Structure 1
Amino acid sequence: MLTPFALRAVARLSTRTFLAVRSSAHTAILLNTQTRSFLTTSRRESPAKANEELVQVRKVTKTTTKTAVKKPAIKKAAPKKPKVKKAKDKVTVPRGTTPPKGPGGPFMLFFTDFKNRTKPTVTRDEIVELSKSAAAEWHTLSDAQKEVYTKKSGALKEQHDVELKQWLESLDPQVLKELNKRRVKYGKRKLVLKSTGPKRPAGPFFMFLQDFRKEYFIQHPPVAGSTRITESTKVAAEAWRAMAPEAKEVYVKKSAAEWDNWRKTQELEAKA
């Protein structure tokens, strides 16, 4: 038989062991669950393992219940190679590449003489008044006096044509092409090298017009600045319409013969 004191000691020991076991179980539960600290949070290992097992079980059930259907493989198209544009050689027009300046008409030549005679140095504001006075004097000149400036202008134009031809021949074709692009952009005419071969023959009416003007200008001599050329063309057109077919046939045959000769010369030049 145990004494009351011994019974109390045994009771105390049993409570202590119970509390120790309880505390150890409690700490084990806390270790398995998420614990936090000031710096890091520890991982939950046992629930993660349980989740992995559940995922594996679900995968097994899915594979057993459903039959896997393979989708046809889609062939990916090969990527297209980007097109590489060939860089064109940029043509640069040298500075000062300008054609020779053309001569003025009969009135401009007269205006130059009038300006040198009356007032050589003129400002922009005075040039308008000087032009008006020069035009008034130009209208008072006789046909013979105007003819002097007309012939002078024609001679200068022929000289300019020769200089322009030499300048175009000395120019690089690519530079000329680029220069013509710029001229067209600014509303100017293209610079074209005239062919030295035989000219194209005229048609029947224009051959008749040449013969008609020879007689017409004898009776109505042309004057610089007049509209005699336009008038002669209108009169010739009326005469051509009233002409008999037999008379027209002469010019038609003449034009056809010249066209045949011109085509033959073109073929010979192409073969050469």
Structure 2
Amino acid sequence: MFQFSITASSVLKQLIFKPCSLRCARPYVNFVRQLAVSTSELPKPPKKSPGKFFLFMQDKREQIFAENPGKKVTELAKIAGAMWNKLDEKDKKFYEEEDLKRKQEYAKEYELYLGSLTQNQINQLEVEKHQKILSRKERKQKMIQKRDEKELAKPKRPSSAYGLFMKDFYAKNASKDSVKGSSFISFKVIADVWETLSNEEKMVYSNKAAELVKEYRKDMLKWYHKMEDQGRLELLPKSYQRLATKSKPERKRKSVEKKEE
């Protein structure tokens, strides 16, 4: 059984609370995970209060489902939100007090829970807590990156040969009964039709896909140059980041030397 070192814990905290690329953090996170391996699983901690609104939703769940059969979860959540907003202050106060009561009970139960753990389990709990923080930071960073890429008009990856065939099939047969119904049936129909195509017919889509890939690569290279000029190197792949960190005159000189050779 590994003992969790103070050094590893301090390294992980620095990665969380100090500015650092998540790419550079990942090897350290994996290292700490190995240190935290334990033969015994952590006992389940006490549950937190879900919050006043979710306590209200739990009470009204059956009513909402009964009055709105067949509706999506997102629609049911909006209905519950509207019901909560219409609730008078007296009823809201009931759920606020219940939420506060549960939070106080949770604080006491969690203190007892920590007291029941061994030192190794406490170390493991600390690592898992830091891992969750890093995971949230990583998800948030990915969301921000996707948003930025969309706003900065990053070229979209083209469809494959089969993807182009699917689009073509839908365009030609959208009004026919053969593709109506569930998406599962539609995909099955398309897959069956694709299998019946000759190699020559499939090659038409393969050639078109290859042409689109060439155009995509050209567009991506232009986009990389644009991001480099704007100083958005974090949006570029590692291989291009290393190239971009070199001075432009040096890159130009090497390019000229290569041509002369």
Which TM bucket (shorter chain)? 0.3 to 0.5
Q: Rg larger in 1 or in 2?
A: 1
- TM-score, structure 1 as length reference: 0.33
Select the structure that is richer in helix.
2
Choose between structure 1 and 2 for higher RCO, CA contacts under 8 A separated by at least 6 residues. 2
